[in-house]
Amino acid sequence: SYRKMLTNAANFINDYDNFLIVSHVNPDGDTISSSLAMAHLLKSLGKSFTLVNENVIPQKYSFLTGANEISLISEMDENEKFSYVITIDVADKKRAGEIDYLLTSDVKLLNIDHHPTNDKFGDVNLVLPTAAATAEVVYDLVKEMNAAIDKELATYIYTGLLTDTGGFRYSNTTSKVMRIAAELLDHDISPSNIAEITLETMTKSFLNLLKIALDKLEVVLDGRIAWTTLTLADLSDDNNSDNTEGIVNYTRNIEGVEVGILFKEVKDNQFKVSIRSKRFIDVGDIAKSFGGGGHMRAAGFTYEGTLESIKEKIVNKIRQTKGWQQLEKESDI
């Protein structure tokens, strides 16, 4: 049960020290904030830790205290070994990227997450699939350990909740999320500042990339699927951002569209695919069938092959789902 998982996670933290805190590749607001919240909790318990990610933390998250202390795996001492690892918002070991060489069977691993597709790779797993964000799970752990919430911790948890619910708009926005958020607002944090920085502000280079993505956007399958592609050239152009967070939403948000997809070229014949749905299609299932994962309404995977072949495969997959049949039934009425 979740209660038992919380007890086990608290014991893990109490029993050990010198933790490696691992967040997922191409870090988003939840994995960054929840890692910092975890570090904050450990600090308050007098424990030491090292924060690590495969990628550079996007500049916009630098308002989070300690974001600049998250090390790049490529810059870490290869001989440094960690016995105790905590993964945050990491659904499977692959999501840790290059860091997975530190996640051997010799280490004790605490896996804290909220993805329904999490494969429970930890020695201790604290996974709540109904949670809106890993930040919600970390909040529960903070309460379990009777740790105090201060402004800094409140900012971290709020940021994780805000970003993973798309500003408290997605279907994962529960009454529990709202209650936690309300409690956090009592700690003098600024919801307008956090929303402006994480959700509203677009850099010019991001706008350039968005323009390209919108220009290439196509609507297919009777207006039910919309997709766009960003190539290596688009992403490496100095005028354009290399951050694509949020771009896929523009495909899904089109009237009548059920599934929105972004194909992001990461190498020759290799694509990072982001999928979003509105009401019918479980895109977590679809991503899982391609070796990735995620949630019902937001998921992703990496694909090896041509753009044409993935387009064909994904359309076939979508048409085979129960959700698609329901959608067709509903449109007949």
Please give the residue ranges that form the binding site for Mn ion (CB under 5 A). Answer: 28, 30-31, 89, 133-134, 164
In the complex, least distance from residue 181 CB atom to ligand 5GP, rounded to whole angstroms: 20
Residue whose tokens read 């690590």: 52
273: which residues sit within 8 A by CB, 6+ positions away? 261, 262, 263, 264, 287, 290, 292, 300, 301, 302, 303, 310, 314
Q: Yes or no: say if 228 and 217 are a contact pair by the CB < 8 Å rule.
A: yes
Task: Name which position in 6, 213, 226, 298 contacts ligand 5GP (CB under 6 A).
Answer: 298
Task: Name which position in 58, 97, 294, 323 contacts ligand 5GP (CB under 6 A).
Answer: 294
Residue 95 interacts with, from Mn ion, ligand 5GP, none (CB under 5-8 Å by kind) = ligand 5GP
Task: Name which position in 155, 293, 297, 324 contacts ligand 5GP (CB under 6 A).
Answer: 293
Does position 302 bind ligand 5GP by CB under 6 A?
Answer: yes
* DSSP character string of 43-64: HHTT--EEEEESSPPPGGGGGS
What x/- string results for residues 149 through 188 when contact with ligand 5GP is judged by CB under 6 A? Answer: ----------------------------------------
Cβ-in-10-Å burial (0-12, 13-18, 19+) of 205 comes to middle
Q: Yes or no: say if 309 and 302 are a contact pair by the CB < 8 Å rule.
A: no
CA dist., res. 278 & res. 29, Å (int):
22
Q: Measure Cα distances from 200 to 21, 85, 285 in Å.
A: 28, 34, 30
Q: What number of chain residues touch ligand 5GP (CB under 6 A)?
A: 15
For residues 301 and 324, which CB has a smaller minimum distance to ligand 5GP in the complex? 301
- Considering only the stretches 66-74, 76-84, 221-229, 296-304, report the one whose residues sit in contact with ligand 5GP under the rule CB under 6 A: 296-304
For residues 116 and 323, which CB has a smaller minimum distance to Mn ion in the complex? 116
For residues 224 and 288, which CB has a smaller minimum distance to ligand 5GP in the complex? 288
CA nearest neighbour of 113 among 151, 147, 158, 164: 164
CA dist., res. 38 & res. 44, Å (int):
10
Positions in 209-248 near ligand 5GP (CB under 6 A):
none
CA dist., res. 276 & res. 251, Å (int):
8
Task: Name which position in 85, 295, 321, 324 contacts ligand 5GP (CB under 6 A).
Answer: 295
- Residue 258 backbone zone (phi > 0: left; psi -120 to 50: alpha; other: beta): alpha
In the complex, least distance from residue 55 CB atom to Mn ion, rounded to whole angstroms: 13
Does position 97 bind ligand 5GP by CB under 6 A?
Answer: no
Q: Yes or no: say if 295 and 131 are a contact pair by the CB < 8 Å rule.
A: no
Task: Name which position in 156, 206, 263, 301 contacts ligand 5GP (CB under 6 A).
Answer: 301
CA nearest neighbour of 138 among 242, 276, 31, 66: 31
Task: Name which position in 9, 51, 82, 92 contacts ligand 5GP (CB under 6 A).
Answer: 92
Does position 299 bind ligand 5GP by CB under 6 A?
Answer: yes
The token duo for 233 is 């050239």
- Considering only the stretches 91-99, 140-148, 166-174, 222-230, report the one whose residues sit in contact with ligand 5GP under the rule CB under 6 A: 91-99
Positions in 99-118 near ligand 5GP (CB under 6 A):
115, 117
Q: Tell me if residue 103 falls in helix, strand or coil.
A: coil
CA–CA–CA angle 184, 189, 195 (5° rounding): 100
Task: Name which position in 124, 292, 321, 327 contacts ligand 5GP (CB under 6 A).
Answer: 292
- Considering only the stretches 65-73, 221-229, 295-303, 309-317, report the one whose residues sit in contact with ligand 5GP under the rule CB under 6 A: 295-303
Give residues in contact with ligand 5GP (CB under 6 A): 91-92, 95, 115, 117, 274, 292-295, 298-302
